[in-house]
Structure 1
Amino acid sequence: MFAVVNDGARAQAADAETVKILALGDSLTAGYNLPPGDAFPVRLEAALRDRGHAVRVVNAGVSGDTTAGGLARLGWLLDGEAPDAVIVELGANDALRGLPPQKAEENLAAILQSLADRNIPTLLAGMYAPRNLGPEYIAAFDGLYPRLAERFDVPLYPFFLEGVALQDRYLLSDGLHPNAEGVQVMVDNILPHVEALVERARQTSG
């Protein structure tokens, strides 16, 4: 006798093998002023699938979000279908508003602690403060990401806008947000780090 597997069972099995990545961030993740298909999570999922990874990248980016906003909505994001891995990209709006780096660090620490408590592999994407905020603010803000990565033993991608910031050809007219080409540069640069995250997620779940 041969077992008959219906389409629903196949779909469930395939979904069980798919690594769900939650991209928790602000407008840089959300895809500010871009067509939906050009948002960072969509481009990242496509790049990972092109390299043979069975993944689903969920866009949990909210334009204007601060570290406090990300922390406030983390609970319900995790209470549903829990992700297998998380990319945390927050802090740019804290710096743009000149909010205290110490508070941003506290909020990100709370996020990382919640993910650690759930044993969810995490990649922390760092940001740099605007250079016009003064050396003390810059040192405090830029340094919080390496400190958190060491404290929580999570990998750090030092600068989410690596290769894109200050490059007009990769930015929208506001000079802050990536255009579609810029998003692709971001994806290409971070891809090896996310592939390592996917592998950690598989090891954790396996």
Structure 2
Amino acid sequence: MAAVAASVPVDGIAATASVPASKVQASKEPASKGPASIVVLGDSLSAEYGLDRDTGWVALMRKRLAQSAPDYNVVNASISGETTTGGKTRLPAILARVRPGVVIVELGANDALRGIPLTLSTSNLGAIIESSQSAGAKVLVIGMRIPPNYGPDYAEHFFQTFAELAKQYRTAYVPFLLDGLVDDPSLFQADQIHPTAAAQPHMLDNVWPALKPMLKDAQ
């Protein structure tokens, strides 16, 4: 597969987007009882697809926070294959259980893979942001790109949707989680879709500048 395809964070048809919210990473991430917590609501790019446990960018973020903002708990509520509809459906229970101070939203690319209308994806993402903000959380929107073979107009509209949502709801914003990676096939697994463990620190570095100002006492 051409390297450009690596910019598509999508999962196979066998991906399990129906895992109950109560079972998401339950064994290693206890629910937070206070406001100093971060929820990552994402798909396979945030769910350590194809990686050893605790090597993904979210786990690396947890380790960095232990040094710079130790009061924060991180709950990774990401599921491989997740769509914006699935994320919107699961979110209320997650917000009630965790009561996060920050919600990081990394969803949308699987919608494009499955041909879900962009208007629906945009509406779902808006609802996710609104629900998070209504619960008292700050929101960080992570944008994605899709290859031009989807049509250059659609691909650009898809990419701009994340920026428009971030502007509309005044959220923090990361334009592209895989920025700086897609031209290097060695940083992707055999499917040329999912990044390797070696790529995860770079992904975190793409997120950190937007996340850091949202945190209390971050160095």
* TM-score, normalising length: structure 1: 0.84
SS in 2 for 1:123: strand
Alignment of structure 1 residues 17-166 onto 2, 5 Å: 19-166=36-183
Contact 2:35 / 2:100 at 8 angstroms: preserved in 1? no
Partner of 2:22: none
Instruction: Report what 1:174 is aligned to.
Output: 191
Q: In the alignment, what sits opposite 2:11? A: none
Distance, in Å, in 2 between the alignment partners of 1:136 and 1:16 is 45
What's the CA shift for 1:21? 0.5
State the one-letter code of the partner of 2:206. N
Separation in 2, partners of 1:19, 1:170: 33
Structure that is richer in helix per residue: 1
SS at match of 1:112: helix
The 3-state SS of whatever aligns with 2:165 is helix
What is the distance in 2 between the residues matched to 1:168 and 1:136?
25
Q: Deviation per CA, 1:24-70: give whole Å up to 9, x if none.
A: 00000101011111122211111222335432211111000011111
- Which gives a bigger RCO, structure 1 or 2 (Cα 8 Å, sep 6+)? 2
Structure 1 gaps of 5+ residues are 1-14
Q: Determine helix, strand or coil for the equivalent of 2:77.
A: strand
Aligned CA distance change for structure 1 residues 66 and 33 (closer, same or farther; 3 Å): same
Unaligned stretches of 5+ residues in structure 2? 1-31
* Aligned 8 A contact 1:23 1:61 in 2: yes
* Counterparts of 2:58 and 2:73, CA distance in 1: 9
Over the matched positions of the two proteins, sequence identity in percent amounts to 35
Query: What is the deviation of 1:135?
Result: 2.2
Q: CA offsets, 1:98-140, max 9 Å, x none?
A: 3211111010000011112122111100011222100231132
State the Cα RMSD in Å.
Answer: 2.0
State the SS of the aligned residue for 1:192: helix
Letter in 2 for 1:82: R
> In structure 2, how many angstroms separate the alpha carbons of the residues matched to 1:16 and 1:72?
22
Retained in 1: the 8 A contact 2:108–2:121?
yes
